[in-house]
């Protein structure tokens, strides 16, 4: 697993177009750690306070200037001052970089224009195709299974005793990091040779049923499915909470009316509940889909993208910051962007329609 030291940070193998960092330390920090801890801590607190103070000063200045707005063009002047910090940050940090990345995707590692070579690479090379294929598998399985389990669970526990506890238990993984989730599940998938007791629950179950333990995360294809399980584990809680809230939004008269008409549980679900939570379902499916498209941490922590488990977001990071292939990384990022564009367009249309109504 070549990623051990890799997580140490990008400077290890930053791409050539990026100016190299001067080596900050000739020897690792660790050895001096015990001596500098207190000084470090003070330095850090000082940094935080300084940062907050500078920020407060800037905001104070802006508010002061807003109050001193000249009579002519007053509204315009105030609008600019209110919007300036956020808009400048967004323009410099998101808009410009996105455009720049689009251009970078047509260059090679030396920064020369190469046309669509990076895209040709992406759609012809086996390892790149595998990445795309894996991403498709993720995007098909995670939203459908998460939403399915989440919906069933939300319906079953609705208005039951202990509903809140049920909800909390499943919701908890939503609050923890993908990194933490990755480690939790790596432990479940841990392997020990058959001659020794297993410490990973999954292999123990296999052994209980008389099977041989498996190196799950190194077994191509099944390892991708096992990573997908982790993502589902994280996302179901989100689905449950949103859908449960939607279910509670259905007027109880409708459900009672259906009951009086003699509808079975299933009919009531089909004809009353499901139409009533359409909005919630759309939110859940699209949100989980986009989260899945961008999944990075789980793959990074559990396999590092090795053993045929890479996905677009992970490959983008690997290409741009490990392999020094900024062009390929940019092309992958652009594909990621294009995959989410349809949802953007849909959202903007909905939003504009509402603003027209208002």
Partner 1 sequence: MSQATGSTDKAIVKELDAAARRGYNLDGTKAMRVKRRLTSRPATVFALLIAVLWTLPTFGLLISSFRPAELINTTGWWTVFQNWGWTLDNYSEVLLSASSSAPQLGSYFVNSLAITIPVVVFCTVLAAMAAYALAWIKFPFVDWVFIGIFALQIVPLQMALIPLLQIFTSTLKPAQEWVHGLVPIIPDETYVQVWIAHVIFGLPLAIFLLHNFISEIPRELMEAARVDGATHGQIFMRIVVPLSVPILASFAIFEFLWVWNDLLVALVFSGGTADVAPLTQRLAELAGQRGQTWQRLTAAAFISLIVPLIVFFSLQRYFVRGLLAGSTKG
Site for partner 1, residues 134 to 173, rule: CB under 8 A: 149, 152-153, 155-157, 159-161, 166, 168-173
Contact (CB, 8 A) for 235 and 288: yes
> Is 66 an interacting residue with respect to partner 1 (CB under 8 A)?
yes
Contact (CB, 8 A) for 206 and 214: yes
According to CB under 8 A, which residues from 2 to 31 bind partner 1? Answer: 3-11, 15, 17-19, 21, 24-25, 28-31
Minimal CA–CA distance to 294: which of 328, 332, 345? 332
* Smallest separation, CB 118 to partner 1 (Å): 13
- Number of shown-chain residues binding partner 1 (CB under 8 A): 163
Contact (CB, 8 A) for 186 and 178: no
Return the residue of 89, 120, 129, 194 that touches partner 1, per CB under 8 A.
89
Reading the block at residue 13, the tokens are 């193998």
> Is 71 an interacting residue with respect to partner 1 (CB under 8 A)?
no
> Is 194 an interacting residue with respect to partner 1 (CB under 8 A)?
no
Q: What contacts 24+ positions apart, CB below 8 Å, involve 58-65?
A: 58/85
Q: Which is nearer to partner 1, 98 or 116 (CB)?
A: 98
> Is 96 an interacting residue with respect to partner 1 (CB under 8 A)?
yes
> Is 186 an interacting residue with respect to partner 1 (CB under 8 A)?
yes
The residues, ordered by sequence, that sit 6+ positions from 336 with a Cβ below 8 Å of its Cβ are 293, 294, 312, 313, 316
> Is 52 an interacting residue with respect to partner 1 (CB under 8 A)?
yes
Secondary structure of residue 114 in the 3-state scheme: coil
Could you tell me which stretch among 108-116, 133-141, 197-205, 213-221 binds partner 1 (CB under 8 A)? 197-205
Minimal CA–CA distance to 106: which of 296, 340, 326, 257? 326
> Is 128 an interacting residue with respect to partner 1 (CB under 8 A)?
no
Q: Which is nearer to partner 1, 30 or 124 (CB)?
A: 30
* Smallest separation, CB 38 to partner 1 (Å): 11
**Residue 113 forms beta bridges with which residues?**
107
> Is 53 an interacting residue with respect to partner 1 (CB under 8 A)?
no
Minimal CA–CA distance to 224: which of 161, 299, 301? 299
> Is 215 an interacting residue with respect to partner 1 (CB under 8 A)?
no
Q: Running DSSP on this structure, what letter comes out for residue 30? A: G
Q: Which is nearer to partner 1, 228 or 333 (CB)?
A: 333
Reading the block at residue 45, the tokens are 């607190």
* Smallest separation, CB 253 to partner 1 (Å): 14
Query: What sign for the dihedral angle of Cα 61, 63, 68, 70?
Result: positive
> Is 258 an interacting residue with respect to partner 1 (CB under 8 A)?
no
Return the residue of 118, 223, 224, 246 that touches partner 1, per CB under 8 A.
246
> Is 302 an interacting residue with respect to partner 1 (CB under 8 A)?
yes
Q: Which is nearer to partner 1, 137 or 336 (CB)?
A: 336
Reading the block at residue 227, the tokens are 């990573």
Given its phi and psi angles, is residue 73 left (phi above 0), alpha (psi -120 to 50 degrees) or beta? left
């Amino acid at each position: 697993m070549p990623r051990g030291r890799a997580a140490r940070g990008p400077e290890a193998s930053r791409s050539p177009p990026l100016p190299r960092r001067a080596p900050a330390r000739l020897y690792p920090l660790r050895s001096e750690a015990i001596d500098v801890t207190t000084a470090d801590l003070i330095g850090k607190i000082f940094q935080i306070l300084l940062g907050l103070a500078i920020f407060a000063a800037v905001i104070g200045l802006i508010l002061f200037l807003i109050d001193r707005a000249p009579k002519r063009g007053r509204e315009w002047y105030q609008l600019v001052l209110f919007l300036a910090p956020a808009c400048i940050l967004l323009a410099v940090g998101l808009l410009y970089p996105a455009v720049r990345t689009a251009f970078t995707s047509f260059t090679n590692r030396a920064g020369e224009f190469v046309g669509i070579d990076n895209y040709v690479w992406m759609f012809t090379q086996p390892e790149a195709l595998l990445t795309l294929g894996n991403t498709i598998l993720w995007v098909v399985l995670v939203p459908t299974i998460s939403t399915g389990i989440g919906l069933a669970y939300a319906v079953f526990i609705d208005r039951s005793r202990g509903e809140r506890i049920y909800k909390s238990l499943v919701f908890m993984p939503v609050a923890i990091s993908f990194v933490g989730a990755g480690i939790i599940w790596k432990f479940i998938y841990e392997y020990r040779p058959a001659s020794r007791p297993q410490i990973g629950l999954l292999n123990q179950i296999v052994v209980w049923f008389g099977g041989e333990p498996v190196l799950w995360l190194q077994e191509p294809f099944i390892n991708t499915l096992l990573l997908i399980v982790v993502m589902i584990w994280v996302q179901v809680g989100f689905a449950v909470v949103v859908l449960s809230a939607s279910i509670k939004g259905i007027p109880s008269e409708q459900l009672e009316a259906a009951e009086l008409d003699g509808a079975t549980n299933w009919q009531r679900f089909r004809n009353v509940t499901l139409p009533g939570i359409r909005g919630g379902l759309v939110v859940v499916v699209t949100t989980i889909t986009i989260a899945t498209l961008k999944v990075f941490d789980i793959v990074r922590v559990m396999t590092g993208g090795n053993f045929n488990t890479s996905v677009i977001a992970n490959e983008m990071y690997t290409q741009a910051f490990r392999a020094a292939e900024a062009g390929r990384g940019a092309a992958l990022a652009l594909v990621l962007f294009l995959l989410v564009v349809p949802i953007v367009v849909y959202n903007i249309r909905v939003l504009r329609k509402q603003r027209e109504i208002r």
